[in-house]
Structure 1
Amino acid sequence: MSEAPRSATVVVIGAGQAGLSAGFHLSRRGFASALDEPDAERTFVLLDANPKPGGAWQHRWESLTMATVNGIFDLPTFARTPGSEDEPSRDAVPRYFAEFERAKPLPILRPVRVLEVSRIDDDPQGALLVATDGAGGWRADAIINATGTWNNPLLPSIPGQDSFRGTQLHTRDYVSASAFEGQRVAVVGGGISAVQQLEEISRGAQTFWYTRREPVFLENGFNPEVEGRSTIAKVTADVEAGKPSSSVVSYTGLGWSTYAVAARDRGALERRPMFTAIEPDGVREADGSFTPVDAILWATGFRADLAHLDGLGLRNARGGITMRGTQVADEPRIHLIGFGPSQSTVGANRAGRDAVRAIEKLGLQRSERPADPREPAVRR
C-alpha cells in the first residue's frame, strides 16, 4: 500500500448480523463515523466484502425459506416485520438488514475485502494495520472480527477425489435440487444443511447419505429455553480452553424437523458409513463394494473465516484460538464475534454488545491520523 492509511479506533470486519450489532453498539456508545468525523476522539468503520446488505444470507440456496431456517433473531432495537414463511431467506433477511442500515446509518464501506491484519511495529500496544482490496489501508487500535464462516467451507480430503468424472460441489455452491433430477447423488454430512438438502434432492433423484459418525436425532428436538444455556456453556468452555471451533449441531444434535421427517419417510435417511475412496464413476464403500454416482454434494459445513488474521499468530498448536469472552486471550484488542458460543443470531447480537463494552474498558482513542488520507473506493 503506497497510500497513507486512514485511521479508526475500531475497525469492524464484516457487516452481517454480528457486525451490524457491533456497529450499532459502537454508535450508541459515542464512537463517531471514521468516514464523516475522522478527527473525533473515538471513531469506527465497518468493512464488508459483500456488494450489498445481507451478509452470507444473500448467498443461501433458493429453497431455504423462512420456514426452514434455524431461526433469525431481531437486530438491536429493530423488530423484523413478519413476512411469508415461504419467502426465500436469501431475499427476506438481506431486505431486513438493508432496512436496518437505512434506519440506523453506520459507516460501512462495501464491497471491501480485508486481505490481512498485521501489527505495525513490535509494540504490543501499538496500532494494527488492516490491508484491503478496495479501500486502502486502515490503522486501528482494535479489531472486531465478524466474518462468519461462509467463505471457509470445509472440504474433506478423500483418496481419488480428483479422478471423479461427475459433479462435485459444496453446500456453499448449492442452488436447487432441480440440478440433480434423475441422477444418483451422494450427500455427505451430518448437519442441518445436509439433511435439508438430502430431503429435497431425494424427491427427484436417488440419494445415498454418508456421515463419519452416526447422526443423533433428538426425539423431542432441541429446546433453546431449556438446553440453550448449558449448550452455550459447553461451547464457551471449549473456546476458553483453546479448542478448535466446531459446528453448533455437534453440541445440540439434530431435531426431527419437517424436512427430516419427510426424508425419513421417503427412506432417504438411511445413513451409510463414510466411503473410503472416490473413483471416476462413483465411490468405494466402507465394506469394499462400489456404488456408482453422478454427483457428490459435500454438505460438510464450514469453519471460521479467519485467514486474514493468521499473521497475528493467534492460533495455538491445536489450531484453536483461546478466548476470554469475545476477546482473544493473548491479544485483547482483537475480538471475534459470531464465533464459538456466539454463532447464533441472538448470540451474535450479544457478542457485538459485549465486544464494544470490552473495548471501552481498554480506554482506546483514535490513532494519529496521517495527512492526506486516501478517499474510499466505494462507500455505501
Structure 2
Amino acid sequence: MSHTTQVVVIGGGQSGLAAGYHLRRLGLDFVVLDAQSTPGGAWQHAWESLRLFSPAAYSSLPGRLMPPQAGETYPEAQHVVQYLADYEKRYELPVERPVRVLGVHRDGRLLRVETDSGTWHARSVISSTGTWWRPFLPAVPGQGAFGGRQMHTVQYRSPRDFAGRRVIVVGGGNSGAQLAADLAYDTELTWATQRPPRFLADDIDGRALFDVATARRRALDAGRTDTGGVASLGDIVAVPPVREVRDRGLLKASPMFSRLVPDGVEWADGTRAEADVIIWCTGFRPALAHLSPLGLRHRRGRIPMAGTRALAEPRLHLLGYGDWTGPASATLIGVGRAARDAAREIGRLLAVDG
C-alpha cells in the first residue's frame, strides 16, 4: 500500500510528538510513524527507579506543561509515559503504530519511506528515532571469557533481580551512577569508571543544564570561545537517590578494569573482583540505520548538519539525537525549540517548492 503526505515523522517518542505539534500549528499534512505498539517512546522501557532531572513544569513539551506527580518532586518514568500519551491524544497527532521504517530513499522530488506495512512518499522527512534502540558496548579484552551475565542499561529494571549477587556496574555517567545507587543496598557492588566521578552541584537540575547547553550553542554559532557546555560542570546530576547513597558513603567508584576473566574482572596490577553480573552503562549511538540508503553518515556515525537539517539532503531533518541536532534536543525541555525550527524550515521549503 502506498501513501503520500507532505511530511513523514519517523519516531513517536518525545521528539516526534514535539515535531508533530509544530507541524500541526503550521497547518502541514503529516504522519508520525512509530515502531512501538503503545505511546511513550523509550520511557516505557526505562528502569523502575528512573526519575527526571527536573520538576515536571521544567520537563514539558511545547504547548502543554507536564502536570506534577503526586508526592514526587522529580517525576518517575511512568509519569512521563502517561504525559506523552495524553499529549498525543490532546493534540490529535496522527500517529500510526506499530510501523517499523525499513529505509528512506530519494525518489525524484520526493523521499520514499519504506516500512513493514507499506510505502510513504513525502516532500520532507523528520527522523526522531533517538538512541535508546542502539546501546553501545565497548570492546574489552576477555569479554567472551566471562562466565556470568552481561547486560546493558536498556535491560535493567529493578534491584530486586540482583539481590545478594555480586554486580559490577560500568560507567561514570548518569545511568551508571543511578544504577549503582539503585544496587548499593542489596548487592555486593563494584562501580567501575574511566575517571573519578564528577558530580554536578546538588542544586543543578535539568532546567539549568538546558540553559547551559543553549548558551554554548549560541557562543559557537557566534564564533565565540567554546564554553564547554554541560560537560564543563560535571558528568552526573545528583538526583536525590544518587545524593543519598553518595552521602552515606555507599557510592564509591573504582578505576576501570583492564580485562574480563571467567569469574569477574581484573585490573592492570593483577587485582581481581568476582562478579555474577556486569551491567554496561556505556551509552548509546544514534539509531539511524533507516537513513543508510541516503548515504549521509560521516565520522562517528553522525550526519553533517546545519541546525536540524542534513547538509547533503535538505529535505531531511533530525531531532533528538544530542546537541549536534539542536541544543539539548535529546531532552524533554530542549526538544521543543529544535522541533519548532525544523517545522518552520520545512514550511519554508514546501512554500518555495510549491
- Shorter-chain TM-score category? 0.7 to 0.9
| TM-superposed deviation, 1:56 | 0.8
Give the letter aligned to residue 111 of structure 2.
L
- Residue matched to 2:34: 48
Q: Deviations over 1:260-304 (max 9, x none)?
A: 332223433322221111111100113222211111011112222
Q: Partner letter of residue 5 of structure 2?
A: A
Structure 2 letter corresponding to 1:267: G
Distance 1:143 1:195 in 2: 36
Indicate the RMSD between aligned Cα atoms, in angstroms: 2.8
2:9 match: secondary structure: strand
Equivalent residue number for residue 20 of structure 1: 17
- Give the CA deviation at 1:91: 2.5
Paired position in structure 1 for 2:67: 81
Query: Scaled by the length of structure 1, what TM-score is found?
Result: 0.81
Stretches of structure 1 that go unaligned for 5 or more consecutive residues are 32-42, 242-246, 368-380
Query: Paired residue for 1:211?
Result: 193
Instruction: List per-residue Cα deviations over 1:158-190 (Å, max 9, x = no partner).
Output: 112122221211110101001111111110011
TM-score, with normalisation over the residues of structure 2?
Answer: 0.87
CA contact (8 A) 1:198 1:263 kept: no
Q: Secondary structure at the match of 1:169?
A: strand
**1:96 aligns with one of 73, 83, 90:** 83
Structure 2 distance, partners of 1:236, 1:321, is 21
Equivalent residue for 1:200, pick from 182, 191, 209: 182
Counterpart CA distance in 2 for 1:180 and 1:204 is 8
Q: Judging changes above 3 Å, is the alpha-carbon distance between structure 1 residues 12 and 166 closer, same or farther for their aligned structure 2 residues?
A: same
Aligned to 2:226: none
What residue number does 1:132 align with?
Answer: 115
3-state DSSP of counterpart to 2:93: coil
| 2:257 corresponds to 1:271 | no
What SS is found at the alignment partner of 1:11? strand
Task: Judge conservation of contact 1:217–1:254 (CA < 8 Å) in 2.
Answer: yes
Other-structure match for 1:70? 53
Task: Give the whole-Å Cα distance in 2 for the aligned partners of 1:157 and 1:179.
Answer: 26
Q: Identify the match of residue 168 of structure 1 among 150, 155, 159.
A: 150
Partners of 2:307 and 2:231 in 1: CA distance: 21
Aligned AA (2:317): H
The 3 A distance-change label for structure 1 pair 200 and 24 is same
CA contact (8 A) 1:17 1:349 kept: no
- 1:191 alignment partner in structure 2: 173
Deviates more, 1:331-340 or 1:201-210: 331-340
**318-327 or 228-237, which deviates more:** 228-237
| CA distance in structure 1 between the aligned counterparts of 2:348 and 2:20, rounded to whole angstroms | 17
Shift of 1:253: 2.8
2:292 aligned to 297, 310, 314, which one? 310
Deviates more, 1:352-361 or 1:311-320: 311-320
User: In 2, are the aligned partners of 1:48 and 1:110 still within 8 Å (CA)?
Assistant: yes
- Gaps (5+ residues) in structure 2? 224-228
Q: What letter matches 1:132 in structure 2? A: T
Of 306, 327, 346, the residue aligned with 1:359 is 346
Alignment check: 8 A CA contact 1:19 1:46 kept: yes
Corresponding residue number in structure 1 for 2:27: 30
The answer to whether the 8 Å contact 1:8/1:366 transfers is no
**Residue identity in the other structure for 1:69:** L
Q: Which amino acid aligns with 2:281?
A: A
Residue in 1 that maps onto 2:5: 8
Is it true that 1:336 corresponds to 2:318 in the alignment?
yes
Deviations 1:14-58 (A, max 9, x none): 111111111111111111xxxxxxxxxxx2110001111111111
Query: Secondary structure, in 3 states, of the residue corresponding to 1:162?
Result: coil
Aligned residue identity for 1:45 = V
Q: Per the alignment, in what secondary structure is the counterpart of residue 363 of structure 1?
A: helix
Once the two structures are aligned, what percentage of the paired residues are identical? Answer: 44
